[in-house]
């Protein structure tokens, strides 16, 4: 029986399965443990089940001498120092696939919401601004029959493409068969939806030059990682009208401070990273994270072992 540390309570019965085979130390608070609190839990911990909000860096890994398995409840591992993990031969698992369709649903919901100005319309009703029908009030943009550019045609990007075809949208994408150059995609798309992992190569992939390359009537959608977009450039683009609007489920940092300048930009929707937030999907993620941890501790191949892109 190994000792496992779990950084947050998880939905469903996955932790019960883990506790049936190993000793579980569960972080009791709603907010994540600080780095110093994580280090204090090192002791004889052999298995770690963490979330994307937990920074698992080289210093922390060095403080856990018996650690041999990390299971990250996330679609990526940009919160983990993968090089330090590899140097210690620590098994590293993650939870892709099970959240693909749910996250794609949200990405498309953001396309509709920002194009049709749903937050403004919803706010107008309780504010008493709903007056007799006005043909010029709260005009948005059509989604049906327009062009969507998908940056990163992986699992989630492909799922968004399937939804877009239901709206008879032209689908452009980077990479793979039939892919186009990023500059071409940006210039032609009415909606640009980001679905790339966060790596050194993709950090600030969308910065001022890319935002200026988009149509002034286009919208940027980000359900990938906040670091893929240069937020200062996005704020300026919205304030100066380089693009029509943006809708993001991810920011850098997370959570974004309430006084962050980006939140004051016009024509912007910001969600608190809820791409996978349905009961069924979060339970599937928890099950897969526990399956990864159980397999790693038993010396078996993980169902989903992380391999750097």
Hey, which residues are catalytic here?
225, 254, 273
Q: What tokens appear for 12 in the block?
A: 């469903």
**Which residues does 223 contact at the CB level (< 8 Å), separation at least 6?**
103, 106, 107, 110, 156, 193, 194, 195, 248, 249, 250, 275
**SS3 category, 175:** coil
Radius of gyration of the chain (CA): 21
31 within 8 A of 51, measured Cβ to Cβ: no
CA pair distance 52, 199, nearest whole angstrom: 15
The one-character DSSP state at 176 is: S
Tell me if 251 sits within 8 A of 226, measured CB to CB: yes
Dist CA 264 CA 254 (whole Å): 17
DSSP letters along 223-282, please?
A: -S-GGGB-HHHHHHHHHHTSSSEEEES--SSSSPPTT-GGGGSSSEEE--S-TT-SHHHH
Most distant CA atoms of the chain, gap in Å: 68
């Amino acid at each position: 029986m190994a000792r496992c540390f779990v950084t947050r309570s998880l939905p469903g019965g996955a932790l019960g399965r883990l506790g049936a085979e190993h000793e579980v130390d569960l972080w009791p608070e709603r907010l994540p443990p600080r780095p110093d609190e994580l280090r204090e839990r090192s002791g004889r911990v052999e298995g770690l089940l963490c979330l994307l909000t937990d920074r698992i860096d080289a210093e922390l890994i060095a403080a856990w001498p018996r650690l041999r398995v990390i299971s990250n409840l996330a679609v990526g591992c940009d919160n983990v120092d993968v090089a330090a993990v590899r140097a210690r031969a620590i098994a590293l698992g993650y939870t892709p696939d099970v959240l693909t369709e749910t996250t794609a649903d949200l990405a498309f919901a953001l396309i509709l919401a920002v194009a049709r100005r749903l937050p403004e319309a919803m706010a107008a009703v309780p504010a008493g601004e709903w007056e007799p029908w006005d043909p010029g009030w709260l005009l948005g943009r059509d989604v049906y029959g327009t062009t969507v550019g998908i940056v990163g045609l992986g699992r989630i990007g492909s799922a968004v493409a399937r939804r877009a075809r239901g709206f008879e949208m032209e689908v452009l994408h980077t990479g793979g068969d039939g892919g186009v150059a990023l500059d071409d995609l940006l210039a032609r798309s009415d909606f640009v939806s980001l679905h790339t992992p966060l790596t050194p190569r993709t950090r600030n992939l969308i910065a001022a030059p890319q935002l200026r390359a988009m149509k002034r009537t286009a919208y940027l959608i980000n359900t990938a990682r906040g670091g893929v977009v240069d937020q200062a450039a996005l704020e300026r683009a919205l304030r100066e009208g380089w693009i029509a609007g943006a809708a993001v489920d991810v920011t850098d940092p997370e959570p974004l401070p309430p006084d962050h300048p980006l939140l004051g930009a016009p024509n912007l929707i910001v969600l608190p990273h809820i791409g996978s937030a349905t009961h069924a999907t979060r339970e599937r993620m928890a099950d897969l994270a526990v399956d990864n941890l159980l397999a790693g501790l038993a010396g078996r191949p993980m169902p989903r072992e992380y391999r750097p892109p």
